Amino acid sequence: MEIKIMKNILDRNQNKADEIRNLLTLKKILMVNIISSPGAGKTTLLERTLEAIGAKFRIGVIEGDITTDRDAQRLKKYNIPIVVINTEGGCHLDSNSISKVLDSFDLDNLDVLFVENVGNLICPSQFDLGETFKLAIVSTTEGDDKPGKYPMLFREAVAVLLNKIDLIPYTNFNFESFNSDLIKINSQIPLLQISCTRGDGLTDWYKWIADQIVFSRL
């Protein structure tokens, strides 16, 4: 006999993500799920961001790492609440792991929670963490073909940061090709061109993210 079910296979993850989203909305906390390849600059972006707007907003960080707490160690000097989730081989964070660590934060004294997902462009885009939005980071050294190859992420993200633009002269990265692929997939998406080491475009990023934080406090 056949038994009809018709439900989302990731129902458990989705239900937990919905719970988290409701809680964070109630607490007026912006949660940003940062997704990129390994080495695109997620942790460096967080370092620059904490230096620039750390005094203005109450910031917390969840560091998703397959193993080690090296990224968290880099952020320790900013004296903000940081929790590490080691996925022990898992290629993405899920809503259950986020839910388990939310208690470690004082949610009544937090404006924004940055979640640094495991470096990977495929798996993390599949799992809702209960975030306010997903942010995609791509670096020029990875090549200009990422939007075309990973459409799901660039469709789901609300903004794209193109990092390491200072290195373009040393790579075969073609901005026109990158941008045209991105627009074909998501014509409305804001694209910020930055260099976390040289500082290009970061002022625009600080303003953009500050606007999002302020908006979520309303």
Binding site for another protein (CB under 8 A): 1-13, 89-92, 94, 122-123, 125-127, 147-148, 150-152, 155, 181, 183-188
Q: Residue 24 Cβ, how far from another protein at the closest point, in Å? A: 23
Nearer of residues 20 and 59 to another protein, judged by Cβ = 20
Q: Residue 214 Cβ, how far from another protein at the closest point, in Å? A: 27
Paired strand residues for 192: 161
Asked if 114 and 59 touch (Cβ cutoff 8 Å), the reply is yes
Asked if 147 and 185 touch (Cβ cutoff 8 Å), the reply is yes
Nearer of residues 184 and 198 to another protein, judged by Cβ = 184
Nearer of residues 53 and 138 to another protein, judged by Cβ = 138
Nearer of residues 126 and 197 to another protein, judged by Cβ = 126
Q: Residue 127 Cβ, how far from another protein at the closest point, in Å? A: 8
Tokens of 208: 């953009």
d(CA 143, CA 123): 20
Asked if 104 and 82 touch (Cβ cutoff 8 Å), the reply is no
Paired strand residues for 138: 162
Residue 129's alpha-carbon distances to 98, 133, 202, in angstroms, are 7, 9, 26
Q: Residue 190 Cβ, how far from another protein at the closest point, in Å? A: 15
Q: Residue 42 Cβ, how far from another protein at the closest point, in Å? A: 19
Nearer of residues 84 and 91 to another protein, judged by Cβ = 91
Q: Max Cα separation, the chain?
A: 64
